[in-house]
Each structure stands twice: as structure tokens, then as C-alpha cells.
Amino acid sequence: MSQPDPRINIDRLIAELQCLAAISDCPEPPPAVTRVVFTETDLRARDYLTGLYEQAGLAVRVDAIGNTFARWEGAEPALPAVGSGSHTDAIPHSGMYDGTVGVLGVLEAIRALKSAGAQPRRSIEVLMFTSEEPTRFGMGCTGSRLLSGAITPDELAQLRDSDDQDYDQVRQAAGFNGPLDSVELPSEYYHAFVELHIEQGPVLEAERLDIGVVTAIAAPAALQFTVTGQGGHAGGVLMPARHDALTAAAEVTLAIERLAQQSRSPDLVATVGQLDVHPGAVNSIPSRVRFSLDIRDINNDNRDAVVREIGVQAQAIAERRGVAIGSRVLNADPPAIAADSIIDAVEAAADALRLSHRRMISRAYHDSLFIARVAPTGMIFIPCRGGVSHRPDEFSTPDQIKAGVQTLALTLAELAK
């Protein structure tokens, strides 16, 4: 390969990852991180990143919902650019590598290419997506959904957080203004898009490999359930007279677990991650419970069949218990397939660097799931310890991160030729 040798300053990159981790609302210190979109903490993290991008000589642009673009202009700036990026928001009490390795890694890749004297023909652009995580609005990837036209501006504007504020109010209060219909990317904006990310699964570590070349991203769906029963005094209402919303929700939660375990697809996973009890007092029978369902599979049809069966069993539970159970699909997305051109470029880069690699699918989803609808897209995975993610002990070694950033740098240089 005729690329310049990418000299990654891994110490600087690790220091920047640690600095970003310190911008957190988690009561525990880093590596525990909480950074929810459009909070003060999210804004401070954005300021930090923008400062780094500008120091590196990149031209920064922020769209109406906070998606942040930082461009290294190519020799032919009118050509569609090569994009790379990820997210910086973090679910409560999670780790410091999810998303951030992609956002800071591409910056280090660009700095390395620049200092090696590379002069790409196409512009190379960092993209930091707003709100990959569904924590606040129940729907993940709102930034990439709007960029790719996977959601309409009206649908996005009306999403609500737990304080019943809508997305449109919240983004404006955070200082992101401008019309929502200005966000969608023009056609052929990107020639290619590559996202560097930790695997969030155990495969690469178990097989002692350096690089995962992602060929597809699993199909995710998210639902919200509401169980409405009858409240009352925990001392005053005898057991046969009860219509307890929490015990009904517990039964549905166990039905979800059982259906996922018994699914014919071993890749199907289903999780109830949020569950809120109303009124939530020690001595009060729960009158209403809201809970989330996150369900994914490589196979779209199998996933949808399990969702339907969950609905059937929930209705049977509701009837037997004399409660009402409603559900709402927040999103049900098809899987994404990576572009062959990018798979080839990543494999060639890893070979040139003498890094071991394999093709794999991503069971976690990413902003690339949506960018794949509007540009040839691929992903580079690096191992993470024990496959652990969304926890404070999420970890990749500096060497693993360095290998990923090197691979990304060569891939970007090749795609921008």
C-alpha cells in the first residue's frame, strides 16, 4: 500500500479519552460515565471536542440538532467527502470507550495523516452524531436518523423525554436552533462513511484478533409498554381484590425473557432495561408501570415474529389480571449491510499494517445503521475486554485502540484518494 505510515500518538489520544470521561454526571468517578444528550454536561463535552477539532485545523460546522462536522478540506473540495465519526453521549453509569473511540480516534487519524504529509483528493470529515443513545427520548440515533431521512423533522420534534419536554424544545434550550428540515444530508454528500467502534461483544478478544470488519448491523426495535392497574393502600386492599400493575409487568417481563430464550435464532436478544413504578411508594399498590423493550436480531422477520408473540402473551396476562397493557413501537429498523468497497478498503489497511482481522456482524447498532441508507458505509471494530460495554469496566487497551486508529487512518486515506 502506498499510504503514508500513520504515526498515531496513542498517549495523547488516551489522555483525550480520559479528559472526555471526566466530563460526566455520574456520581462515581471515571471510568464510570453518564453523559445524556442536551444536558450541561453534554454541552461541555461538545465544547471540548470542538476546541480539539479547531486546534487540528479542521473547519467546524454544527447543524440544527447539534450534529457536529469537522472538515479537513481535500484537494478537490467539490467532490463528495469521506466521513468518519461516532457519538459522545453515554447512558447512565456506563463506560468511557463506547462512541468516544470513534469520535477522538478519527481526529487522531487525521492528525497522523496530516503530520505524515498526506494530501487527500477528497475532503475527510469528522462527524460527531447527536444522541446515539436512547436514554433521554426513548429512541436511539436521533442525529443519524434525521441526517439520513429515516425520521421526519415532525416525528423527531415530537419525541418526549421523561419530563414531558419535546425534542424541539430541549434542543433549542440547549442552544441548537435553525429549521429541523435543514439537517437531512444532500444526496451523495458522502463518498464513503466509516465508523470506528469497540466491538461491545466477546468475539475478537476470544479469537485474539486485532480488527473486526463489519459486514452487517443487526435489526433493532424498541417498544414502550404501559400497564394500568388499580392502586390503593398496601394495607387496605386484600389480595383477591387487587389489580397490581407491577406484578402484571413482572409477568410480561418474564414472558419476554422466555420468548427470547426459546427463539429459534440464537442472535435474538430482548431486554427490559427501564421500568418505572407509579406512584412508587412502599405502602401503595402500583397503579401504573411503564417499561421499555429493546429487541434485536440479524433476522428482521424472526424479530418481528417474537415482538408479535410478546404482544399476544401480554394481552392474555392483562385479561387474566384485569389490568390494561398498551404498547407503542418507538422504532423497528431493518438491518444494514456494509458496502463491499469499504469492507475491501478496511481489510487492505489491516493487511498493510499486519493486523489480524475477521469479518463479523454487529449485534449492537450504531449511527452507521442509518448513514448506510444514504452513503456506502462500513465499520471497524476493535476488541474490548470480556465483550463488556455500557458498564464502567468497559475497556480496550491502548494497543488495541492504536491498531484501530491506524486501520482507520489508512482506510480514510485510501477512500479519499
| Contact set with a copy of itself (CB under 8 A) | 91-94, 133-135, 138, 140, 199-201, 218, 220, 222, 231-240, 244, 246-247, 249-251, 253-254, 257, 260-261, 266-275, 277-287, 292, 294, 296, 362-365, 387-391
- The DSSP bridge partners found for residue 231 are none
279: preceding bond cis by omega (within 30 degrees): yes
Q: Is 98 annotated as a binding residue?
A: yes
| Residue 393 Cβ vs a copy of itself, minimum distance, rounded to whole Å | 9
Residue with cell 498517549: 11
Of 323, 335, 298, 292, nearest to 310 (Cα)?
A: 292
Q: What angle do CA 361, 366, 371 make, to 5 degrees?
A: 100
Inter-residue contact 113 to 6 (CB < 8 Å): yes
Q: In the complex with a copy of itself, which residue's Cβ is closer, 91 or 128?
A: 91
> Which of 110/360 has CB closer to a copy of itself?
360
Distance of closest approach, residue 331 Cβ to a copy of itself, in angstroms: 11
Q: How far apart are CA 163 and CA 36, in angstroms?
A: 14
* Cβ-contact 350, 382 below 8 angstroms: no
Least Å distance, CB 146 to a copy of itself, is 19
First to last CA, the chain: 12
Residue 297: CB minimum distance to a copy of itself, A: 10
Q: Please check if 87 is assigned to a binding site.
A: yes
- If the CB atoms of residues 16 and 294 are measured against a copy of itself, the closer one turns out to be 294
Alpha-carbon torsion, ordered 130, 187, 59, 147, to 10 deg: -10
**Is 390 known to sit in a ligand binding site?**
yes
Alpha-carbon gap, residue 327 to 315, rounded angstroms? 10
Residue with smaller CB distance to a copy of itself, 66 or 286: 286
CB nearer to a copy of itself: pick between 85 and 231: 231
CB of 193 to a copy of itself, least distance (A): 20
Nearer to a copy of itself, 178 or 273 (CB): 273
Q: Which residues pair with 190 in a beta bridge?
A: 81
- The β-bridge partners of 70 are 60, 126
CB of 283 to a copy of itself, least distance (A): 5
197 is in an annotated binding site: yes
Cell of 188: 451523495
Q: Cα dist. 199→272, 362, 400 in Å?
A: 22, 8, 11
Binding site: which residues?
87, 98, 133, 197, 390
Binding site for Zn(2+): which residues?
87, 98, 133, 197, 390
